[in-house]
Structure 1
Amino acid sequence: MGLPSAIAVYFLIWVLSAFLVLPFINARNQREEGDAQIPGQADSAPTHFPVRQTALWTTIVATALFTVFWLNWDYGWVTVDMLDWTQW
């Protein structure tokens, strides 16, 4: 796998990892904080979203998943032939 392909795959894994990390980020909503409502926002909207914390955890998870992907690419633990269920 070339460098541009590796960067593209890492970017895709990073974006998907963001959706894995978001439910675990402690972003308190306006109702829990007791802040004044901002017109046009839902009660469940966070008051202060921790962007740096989210990006850090997303990068950690994405790097771990990409490492597993890269090792599988090099060593061939799971191949396309193994995933073909029509041959059984």
Structure 2
Amino acid sequence: MQWTSIVAIYALVWVVCAFVLLPFGVRTHDEMGIEKVPGQADSAPANFRPGLIAIRAAGLAAIFTALFVLNYINGWIVPEDLIFFGPGAD
């Protein structure tokens, strides 16, 4: 596998991880006891920290990408293992 492929896979996995991590640890103004700005949505986050989400997504994406590359090298799960129905299914 070429290194450019690994970088592209990492970028895709990073985006997915970032979106998955977005709702965790976010609290609203009501939950934190902070006064809201007039016209603000009730669900608007009071403690949104994109840097922390990016760092967590980077770590999680590195783990998942490493597992993907190791699976590619060692062949632990191959496409034939994912056929549950149809010809060749046991």
TM-score class, shorter-chain normalisation, is: 0.7 to 0.9
Q: Name the structure with the higher helix share.
A: 1
Give the deviation of 1:9 after TM superposition: 0.8
Residue 20 (structure 1) aligns with: 20
Distance 2:80 2:73 in 1: 16
Q: How does 1:1-88 map to 2 (within 5 A)?
A: 1-24=1-24, 26-85=25-84, 86=86, 87-88=88-89
Secondary structure, in 3 states, of the residue corresponding to 2:77? coil
Distance 1:40 1:48, change over 3 A: same
Give the deviation of 1:34 after TM superposition: 2.8
Report runs of 4+ in structure 1 exceeding 3 Å deviation: none
TM-score by length of structure 2 reads 0.82
- Residue type of the alignment partner of 1:81: E
Give the deviation of 1:65 after TM superposition: 0.7
Distance 1:60 1:19 in 2: 14
- Residue type of the alignment partner of 1:7: V
Give the paired residue count.
Answer: 87
| Alignment gaps of 5+ in structure 1 | none
| Alignment gaps of 5+ in structure 2 | none
TM-score by length of structure 1 reads 0.83
Distance 1:58 1:40 in 2: 31
Identity level (%): 37
